[in-house]
């Protein structure tokens, strides 16, 4: 085992949940922090002046005096097979799936296509400062193999699963419970809990699954404690109407009937819900991935973030890039879009809310808040070093910034992966530096 290494520089973390206790005083700013990492964890986090002497003089310390160290970003909803068709023009969800997504995912019948996409996706994810993601693969079991095989040597905490679909998609993308469930089970046996990898049972969304397949997915998930369940929920009104036609009930009720509502269930979008749904998601300990960039791009609707996080029954919410309907893998860009969606609903997303969603909130949605999403001793050492002056425009904008909250907000509005100078995973630099 190698010895300790450290980062030094301004650091920012959250004292409390800004949705529940207010954004004022939520951000804890350390103008000159020392973050010591060893054995994949943060072993010390304190002001440099008081902490440095407690560590060996020859400990390697990378100094970032004008940057900002934060916890690594969490992307709670993303489709790696869609990196090649991101930004496809001019459709709403259902026609976009038919016209662009399904043909692209069909290409993953070739394992070489999957391997190439997995390598690109992981490199781009780390370039964007994302250190944990919940990822949809394709219907092909080898699409999961390709992603996990590429993620494992990097030491990434990654959640992924094979998409289950047995209707309303092209024939070559259908599996059915007789094929999809045993394939998922074999992938769980092979990958779940290996290093930091975890499996997610992944029925794409209600319209692409028969009630029998949804129920089989529920049994599979509940039969393997610790695994995740991920699917899409109430992304568009058209989809909600379709589910009502197919199942004779609202989407969340259809999922509940199949046993898909509970802790470690992560629902993408969750836009068109009612108060009963929010209560059920809260009571179930479910996670929701807010995907503002995708929702703006496809015109799906405005996620009611502050309703979801209402203090008397807060739902666990993180952000999702939802590439390829989302247009960037960058958490900063996604938060910038989240700000605009919130404003359009008469609310305000502060820097504290943004940092929460991209780190602790995502970790809570994935039931990983005891391991990731915070700069604190004992947490897994997944970190990002941000550069608030990464572009000439940002440099000009932050010239007169008086605090880290304003610098972070500027990056949420004007920044993207260009702001990510270094990404650290389990105490190892995996992007940037040198």
- Residues of this chain that bind Zn ion (CB under 5 A): 268, 322
Q: Which of 269, 293, 294, 292 is nearest to 281 (CA)?
A: 269
| Contact predicate 145/168, CB 8 Å | no
Q: What phi and psi values does residue 302 have, to the nearest 5 degrees?
A: -105, 120
Q: Minimum Å distance from CB 8 to Zn ion? A: 38
Contact criterion met (CB below 8 Å) for 300 and 270 = no
Q: 296, 254 in Cβ contact below 8 A? A: no
Query: Could you tell me which of 324, 328, 290, 254 has the C-alpha nearest to residue 102?
Result: 324
- Please give the distance of CA 196 from its chain centroid, rounded to a whole number: 15
Chain-centroid distance of CA 220 in Å reads 23
Least distance in angstroms from the C-beta of 268 to Zn ion: 5
Radius of gyration of the chain (CA): 21
Taking the least distance from each CB to Zn ion, the nearer of 295 and 423 is: 295
Closest distance of CB 326 from Zn ion, Å: 8
Rounded least distance, CB 136 to Zn ion, Å:
6
Query: Which CB atom, from 322 or from 417, has the smaller least distance to Zn ion?
Result: 322
Residue 219 CA, chain-centre distance (Å), reads 25
Q: Which is closer to Zn ion, CB of 231 or CB of 359?
A: 231
72 vs 268, which CB is nearer to Zn ion? 268
Name the maximum alpha-carbon separation found in the chain.
68
Tokens of 235: 């992304």
Of 13 and 290, nearer to Zn ion (C-beta) is 290
CB of 48 to Zn ion, least distance (A): 42
Shortest spacing between CB 395 and Zn ion, in angstroms: 35
Phi/psi of residue 333, nearest 5 degrees: -60, -40
What does the alpha-carbon distance between residue 131 and residue 314 come to, in Å, rounded to a whole number?
25
The whole-angstrom separation of Cα 85 and Cα 105 is: 10
In this structure, what token pair is assigned to residue 126?
């780390």
Q: Determine the Cα–Cα distance for residues 278 and 315; give it in Å rounded to an integer.
A: 7
| Shortest spacing between CB 270 and Zn ion, in angstroms | 12
User: In terms of CB distance, is 317 or 398 closer to Zn ion?
Assistant: 317
Q: CA-CA-CA-CA torsion for 240, 246, 249, 253, nearest 10 degrees?
A: -80
Q: Based on CB atoms, which residue is closest to Zn ion, 268 or 284? A: 268
Quote the least distance from Cβ 394 to Zn ion, whole Å.
30
Return the number of the residue (163 or 187) whose C-beta is nearest Zn ion: 163
């Amino acid at each position: 085992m190698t010895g300790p290494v450290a980062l030094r520089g301004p650091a920012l973390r959250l004292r409390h949940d800004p949705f529940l206790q207010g954004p004022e005083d939520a951000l804890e700013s350390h103008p000159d922090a020392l973050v010591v990492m060893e054995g994949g964890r943060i072993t010390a986090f304190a002001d440099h002046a008081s902490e440095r002497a407690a560590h060996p003089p020859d400990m390697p310390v990378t100094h970032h005096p004008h940057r900002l160290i934060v916890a690594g970003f969490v992307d709670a909803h993303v489709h790696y097979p869609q990196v090649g068709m991101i930004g496809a023009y001019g459709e709403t969800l259902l026609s976009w799936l038919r016209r662009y997504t399904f043909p692209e995912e069909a290409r993953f019948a070739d394992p070489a296509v999957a391997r190439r996409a997995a390598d690109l996706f992981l490199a781009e994810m780390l370039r964007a400062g994302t250190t944990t993601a919940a990822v949809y693969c394709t219907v092909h079991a080898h699409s999961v193999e390709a992603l996990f095989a590429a993620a494992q040597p990097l030491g990434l905490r990654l959640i992924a699963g094979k998409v289950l679909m047995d209707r309303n998609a092209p024939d070559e993308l259908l599996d059915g419970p007789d094929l999809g469930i045993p394939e998922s089970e074999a992938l769980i046996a092979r990958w779940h809990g290996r290093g930091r990898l975890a499996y997610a049972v992944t029925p794409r969304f209600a319209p692409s699954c028969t009630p029998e397949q949804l129920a089989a997915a529920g049994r599979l998930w509940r039969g393997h404690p610790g695994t995740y369940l991920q699917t899409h929920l109430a992304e568009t009104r058209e989809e909600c109407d379709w589910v009502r036609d197919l199942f004779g009930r609202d989407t969340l009720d259809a999922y509940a009937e199949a046993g898909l509502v509970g802790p470690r269930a992560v629902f993408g979008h969750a836009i068109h819900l009612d108060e009963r749904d929010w209560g059920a998601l809260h009571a179930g300990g479910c996670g929701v991935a807010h995907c503002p960039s995708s929702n703006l791009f496809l015109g799906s609707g405005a996620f009611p973030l502050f309703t979801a996080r209402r203090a008397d029954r807060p739902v666990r919410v993180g952000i999702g890039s939802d590439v390829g309907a989302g247009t960037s893998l960058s958490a900063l860009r996604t938060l910038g879009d989240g700000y605009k969606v919130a404003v359009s609903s008469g609310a305000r997303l502060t820097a504290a809310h943004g940092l929460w969603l991209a780190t602790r909130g995502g970790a809570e949605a994935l039931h990983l808040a005891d391991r990731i999403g915070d700069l604190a001793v004992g947490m897994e050492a997944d970190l990002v070093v941000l550069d608030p002056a990464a572009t000439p425009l940002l440099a000009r904008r932050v010239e007169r910034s008086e605090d880290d909250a304003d610098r972070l907000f500027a990056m949420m509005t004007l920044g993207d992966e260009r702001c990510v100078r270094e990404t650290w995973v389990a105490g190892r630099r995996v992007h940037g530096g040198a």
